[in-house]
Amino acid sequence: MNQLVNFIFKIILNRNFILVFSVIMGLSFGDYAHSIKDYTIYILVITMVFSTTGIDSKALLPIKKLFKPMLVGTILNYFVFGTIVLVLAWFLMPTKELFMGFVVIVAAPPGVAVIPFAGILKGDIEYSILGVFGGFLASIIIAPAIIKIFSNGVSLSAWSLFILMMKLVFVPLIVSRFLLYKPIFKYVSKIRGKAVDWGFAIIIFTAVGMNRDVFFSNPKILILSSIVLLSATFGMGTLFEILSRRRGKIYERNITQVLLLTIKSSGFSVVTAMTLFGKEAAIPSAILAVIVLLYLLYLSIRLEIKSKKS
């Protein structure tokens, strides 16, 4: 009996289960999402605080080693990924709101999941920390600029966008440094993973729930959005891996850069899209969360198969 209970708890607390569960709940009980919407920004801030404790301050020293990984992470995550997404979304999206949803995805910082999955996939963990940190810092300037450039006809203040980025990225990053203090972190480490998983789950539930009529009645939007995001993750990730291998790049650095290229913070983009452009703009980010999960599972299973063969 105890084994059964432990097995059930293991499934319930599994990150993949939690995300899939949030999507199913959003589709089933989406009416409740409207009552949560106004609190999603606070949920995101708390989630980002716990999430960024994964960026170890010690790995950021000495300062001189920061620049190349930060620059590479920023170029891959914003400009390479962004070009693919924006070009495809520009031609495929039927409404301005949906296109702006993709703009927000491009503007979002890299997902902190890059760091643990760099470890799971036998990549370069230190490089992943530096790349993610660089992407976070860059987002404070790049995100407002990208959103402002593409939001023609929408009344948005560049200053208000900058302040929003400070709230959602810089403040959590600073607060997380205090949580890394040893006497505090021993407690934080016990709940960090689940706080992040359930925080993002609530945000995804809200995005799916508020748009569940679209998910049921307009499969065209789902298909077109999926084409854009599958191309930018599975498609671009595979192409980048092949080209890097041909250039002789070692696996550890290659797979880490693939993660920096393809993994965005879907929770961040959901909240930002809803806050700035309304619920329809959050649809691409809700789909992104599922596609990123599938991509990370694919990379994990592929490595496992290769390990068994060797």
Count CB atoms within 10 A of the CB of residue 27.
15
Containing domain of residue 125, as a range? 34-309
Cα(56)–Cα(59) distance, rounded to whole angstroms?
6
* Burial (CB count within 10 angstroms: exposed 0-12, middle 13-18, buried 19+), residue 259: buried
Q: In whole numbers, what is the pLDDT of the chain averaged over residues?
A: 87
- Mean pLDDT comparison of 82-91, 144-153, 284-293, highest-scoring range: 82-91
Is residue 13 assigned to a domain?
no
Cα torsion 62, 67, 68, 73: sign: positive
Greater model confidence, 17 or 60: 17
Any idea of the CA torsion for 57, 59, 60, 62, to the nearest 10 degrees? 120
Is residue 223 assigned to a domain?
yes
Is residue 18 assigned to a domain?
no
Report residue 181: phi and psi, to 5°.
-60, 125
> Which CATH number covers residue 149?
1.20.1530.20
Return the pLDDT at 290: 87
How many folded domains does the chain comprise? 1
CA contacts within 13 A on the Cβ side of 177: 10
Is residue 23 assigned to a domain?
no
Please give the model's pTM, rounded to 2 decimal places. 0.88
pLDDT by residue (tens digit) across 41-55? Answer: 899 899 889 888 888
Of 113, 110, 175, the closest CA to residue 138 belongs to 110
